[in-house]
Amino acid sequence: MPVQDRNISPATIKVLRPRLPAAASLLPYLERIDSSRTYSNYGPLNGEFARRLGELVGGSHVTLTSNGTTAIELALRLRCQQGGHCLMPAFTFIASAHAVCNAGLTPYLLETDPNSLALTPEIAAAALNAVPGPVAAVLVVSAFGAPPDFAAWAAFEQQHGIPVVFDAAAALTSLSGIGRQPVCVSLHATKTLGIGEGGAIFCADRELMERATAMTGFGFVGQERQSSLRAGNYRISEYSAAVGLAGLDGLPKRIQEMRELTAAYARRLEGKAVHLQRGVGTDWVTMTLNVIVPAADVAATTQRLDDAKVEWRRWWGLGCHRHSAFKDVPMSNLSVTDTLAPCVVGLPFHDDLSPDDLDRVADCLQ
Amino acid sequence: MPVQDRNISPATIKVLRPRLPAAASLLPYLERIDSSRTYSNYGPLNGEFARRLGELVGGSHVTLTSNGTTAIELALRLRCQQGGHCLMPAFTFIASAHAVCNAGLTPYLLETDPNSLALTPEIAAAALNAVPGPVAAVLVVSAFGAPPDFAAWAAFEQQHGIPVVFDAAAALTSLSGIGRQPVCVSLHATKTLGIGEGGAIFCADRELMERATAMTGFGFVGQERQSSLRAGNYRISEYSAAVGLAGLDGLPKRIQEMRELTAAYARRLEGKAVHLQRGVGTDWVTMTLNVIVPAADVAATTQRLDDAKVEWRRWWGLGCHRHSAFKDVPMSNLSVTDTLAPCVVGLPFHDDLSPDDLDRVADCLQ
């Protein structure tokens, strides 16, 4: 390692550098597409990709979708009528709110638990009487890929009779025990398994998932070219499935590397006031690794990161209510979110980071 | 050519066998993706693909979309408020009706002109007083790729103050003179330029198209991660753009082959009672080549095709009102459509057809 010349400032450390399967690893799948001359419409690679994704999450029916946002839209459309309110956390990526609106529902924004960074059944139940109209659904969001509490939300649905859908956009590799409540994931380039643009819905309810798949292709059920459901086009191409299959081939190695990188961060953060999410790097992995910084030190921390030329990002911004397109939707008091959101700071996380880079990031965190 | 053994029945002639760029021609573009490590979010291949598409249609602003259906949804959302009726022809692929509903509008189904197979300004104007509520927009559909009459519809919009959007799903290579009314195309595998799943909006209105592009990515305007428009995710990946760029490289040759195949059909149909669409194969090309069969001979014609093991397809079925998902939408009298739709019969059209195959198809047509 050359001695750093003090007159040359170090290169910026990027917050994210996605790496999807290289062309060479796509080639065998692309050659299968050339042979089949099927390029979309639930072709053979789509079928194989869906099957392998179902196995990855421990056995589930699967519907592939054009992206994670449309996965949520379809799942909500399947589970409730248009026109009501959908409870959802204010602290989530803004795609969640767009999906709720595109499903014909009005978001009602709620607080999140500051420990799990997630909406809880208790928060949702406490809000039911405050919502100005019927509650059609709850959209539960996985915090940056953390496994959702399926059992607690199944109990909530049973108790209150309100359908639950999971926005588990970043949680594909954290899922197990999927039940009859649809679980939506993203396969965007920034996720653990990225295909460029894509998504999936998982659910144990076979009949519901057959309708979900029909809704991705104009409501045609089976081989019929008869629209029997209001729907649209939310399919992925065989090319997208090819990227997914190559990605699955390399996924175990990739997850291991993500665990190791997270552990390398965790060692450097020991004894500091900042902390990572519970279980990250051991129980589950994420490409959007965050530190939760004490509120009093947020401004100084982000200043130190900027000064050290370390890119950082608030992946979910300051909450949906801070986006002008959603500032007028109904919401609960969001003082917890307003305090919490600035403290959640995304750190550089990719396979170009050297030990020196990690030291440089960690030195900014107290 | 071996003499046909009379005891061996001939192989079925398929109605469609798409052919998209082979893996080898994708490779240079895939290697660029490997280098950039950008996989979506308006990456360099997206930019180049959009620019080349704009040049292809004679100069236009371009927004790439996840497919042709979502292109229509976004164009309608940009041009009118939710809640009104959208005039549209009953005779179109069912995606048009799904897109209108997904844009928050109620379809009002109209007749088409039996000569052009398209909705005309005269039909739309005559219906205005019959619609049970405000008319928010008109969705004009290109008949299987035929060039829409932009001038006539610009005059309609000017006269009636009703925004017009074009569903030109199959017409990418037929477009020129695009004005300020958005023109939506499909890049599905079954189109002249196919990328698997994809679409595009063309429009001369730069500001409108900047909003369209923002709507494909959560309403983020420019580099801001601030949602300022109600939107969603309708982007295509860099992989999809790679297929598009390779497809554009081969497009002139492909169009020439489609012209020649159409001409080969036209020669065989001379003097027969069936006819092709006006200008097809000379002024424009389509992958969904139809013959219009005299009503009295439709049943016998399709029987002859079946007997000769020639696949055929009514690409648009019998009209949107014949799909159970749309049977209850408001509509005008559709007796012209009910007579016309069965007569429009899609013929085999792909690069595996031999002269003998064409003879066999033509022998079924009288």
- For residue B69, the chain A residues in CB contact (below 8 A) are 218, 232-233
State the average pLDDT over residues A20-40: 98
Strand duo B85-89 + B135-141: pairing: parallel
State the average pLDDT over residues B123-131: 97
B36 CA to chain A: closest CA distance, Å? 10
Nearest neighbour of B98 by CB, restricted to A18, A195, A232: A232
CB contact A23 to B (< 8 Å): yes
Whole-Å CA distances, A144 to A288, B170, B243, B300, B340: 6, 40, 32, 61, 54
Strand duo A85-89 + A290-292: pairing: unpaired
Share above pLDDT 90 across residues of chain B, in percent, rounded to a whole number: 96
A258 CA to chain B: closest CA distance, Å? 18
Q: What is the mean pLDDT of chain A?
A: 96
What's the CATH code, domain A251-363? Answer: 3.90.1150.10
In the 3-class helix/strand/coil scheme, how is chain B assigned residue by residue? CCCCCCCCCCCCECCCCCCCCCHHHHHHHHHHHHHHCCCCCCCHHHHHHHHHHHHHCCCCEEEEECCHHHHHHHHHHHHCCCCCEEEEECCCCCHHHHHHHHCCCEEEEECCECCCCECCHHHHHHHHHHCCCCEEEEEEECCCCCCCCHHHHHHHHHHHCCCEEEECCCCHHHCCCCCCCCEEEECECCCCCCCECCEEEEECCHHHHHHHHHHHECCECCCCCCECCCCCECCCCHHHHHHHHHHHHCHHHHHHHHHHHHHHHHHHHCCCCCECCCCECCCECCCCCEEECCHHHHHHHHHHHHHCCECCECCCCCCHHHCHHHCCCCECCCHHHHHHHHHEEECCCCCCCCHHHHHHHHHCCC
**Predicted local confidence at residue A244, as pLDDT:** 98
Q: Where are the domains of chain B?
A: 23-249, 251-363
Identify the band that residue B1 occupies on the pLDDT scale cut at 50, 70 and 90: very low
CA distance A80 to B119: 35
Q: Where would I find the H helices in chain A?
A: 23-36, 44-56, 68-79, 95-102, 121-127, 150-160, 206-216, 238-249, 251-269, 298-307, 335-340, 355-363
Instruction: Name the residue with tokens 């921390």.
Output: A301
Degrees (nearest 5) of the Cα angle A106, A109, A111? 160
Type of residue at A359: D
Contact A110, A119 (CB under 8 A): yes
**Predicted local confidence at residue A222, as pLDDT:** 76
Q: Read out DSSP for A278-327?
A: TTBTTTB--SS-EEEPPGGGHHHHHHHHHHTTB--B-TTTT-GGGSGGGT
**Predicted local confidence at residue A223, as pLDDT:** 77
Degrees (nearest 5) of the Cα angle A204, A208, A212? 110
- For residue A95, the chain B residues in CB contact (below 8 A) are 218, 232-233
- Chain B's closest residue to A191, CA to CA, is B39
What's the CATH code, domain B23-249? Answer: 3.40.640.10
- How many Cα atoms occupy the beta-carbon half-sphere of B55 within 13 Å? 8
- Chain B's closest residue to A232, CA to CA, is B98
CB contact B235 to A (< 8 Å): yes
**Predicted local confidence at residue B7, as pLDDT:** 56
CB contact A42 to B (< 8 Å): no
Distance of CA A115 to the CA centre of its chain: 18
**Predicted local confidence at residue A2, as pLDDT:** 47
**Predicted local confidence at residue A224, as pLDDT:** 79
Length of chain B: 366
SS3 of residue A328 by DSSP: coil
CB contact B324 to A (< 8 Å): yes
Taking CB atoms and an 8 Å limit, are A31 and B23 in contact across chains?
A: yes
Lookup: tokens for B306: 């079946």
Evaluate if pTM is beyond 0.95: yes
Poorest-confidence range of A136-150, A223-237, A300-314? Answer: A223-237
Taking CB atoms and an 8 Å limit, are B98 and A225 in contact across chains?
A: no
- From the CA atom positions of chain A, what is the Rg in Å? 21
Contact B156, B162 (CB under 8 A): yes
**Predicted local confidence at residue A10, as pLDDT:** 86
Residue of B26, B93, B233 to mutate for A, most A C-beta atoms under 10 A: B233
pLDDT tens digits along B248-284: 999 999 999 999 999 999 999 999 999 999 999 999 9
State the average pLDDT over residues A52-60: 97
Contact B360, B354 (CB under 8 A): no
CA distance B299 to B29: 48
CB contact B218 to A (< 8 Å): yes
CA distance A167 to A68: 8
Nearest neighbour of A67 by CB, restricted to B98, B233, B243: B233
| Residue A7 in this model has a pLDDT that exceeds 80 | no
SS3 of residue A359 by DSSP: helix
Nearest neighbour of B233 by CB, restricted to A38, A70, A238: A70
Taking CB atoms and an 8 Å limit, are A196 and B40 in contact across chains?
A: yes
| Residue B311 in this model has a pLDDT that exceeds 80 | yes
CA distance A275 to B41: 30
- Chain B's closest residue to A28, CA to CA, is B23
**Predicted local confidence at residue A196, as pLDDT:** 98
**Predicted local confidence at residue B3, as pLDDT:** 47
Contact A235, A197 (CB under 8 A): no
Residue of A77, A237, A245, A323 to mutate for B, most B C-beta atoms under 10 A: A237
CA distance A74 to B146: 33
pLDDT tens digits along B40-64: 999 999 999 999 999 999 999 999 9
Question: In chain A, how many H helices and how many E strands?
Answer: 12, 9
State the average pLDDT over residues B216-245: 95
* Same fold for the pair A23-249 and A251-363: no
As to burial, measured by CB atoms within 10 angstroms (0-12 exposed, 13-18 middle, 19+ buried), residue A25 is middle
Identify the band that residue A6 occupies on the pLDDT scale cut at 50, 70 and 90: low
Alpha-carbon torsion angle B341, B342, B343, B346, nearest 10:
90
Nearest neighbour of B20 by CB, restricted to A39, A229, A240: A39
CA distance A62 to B296: 46
Nearest neighbour of A40 by CB, restricted to B70, B99, B196: B196
State the average pLDDT over residues A253-264: 98
CB contact A191 to B (< 8 Å): no
- Of B345, B333, B281, B288, the residue nearest B112 (C-alpha): B333
Taking CB atoms and an 8 Å limit, are B68 and A197 in contact across chains?
A: no
Q: What part of B 292-311 touches A (C-beta under 8 Å)?
A: none
| Residue B224 in this model has a pLDDT that exceeds 90 | no
**Predicted local confidence at residue B10, as pLDDT:** 85
Strand duo B290-292 + A183-186: pairing: unpaired
Instruction: Name the residue with tokens 């006819």.
Output: B275
Which run of H or E residues covers position A141? strand A135-141
Number of Cβ atoms within 10 Å of the Cβ of B87: 26
**Predicted local confidence at residue B223, as pLDDT:** 77
**Predicted local confidence at residue B6, as pLDDT:** 52
- Of B159, B153, B160, the residue nearest B180 (C-alpha): B153
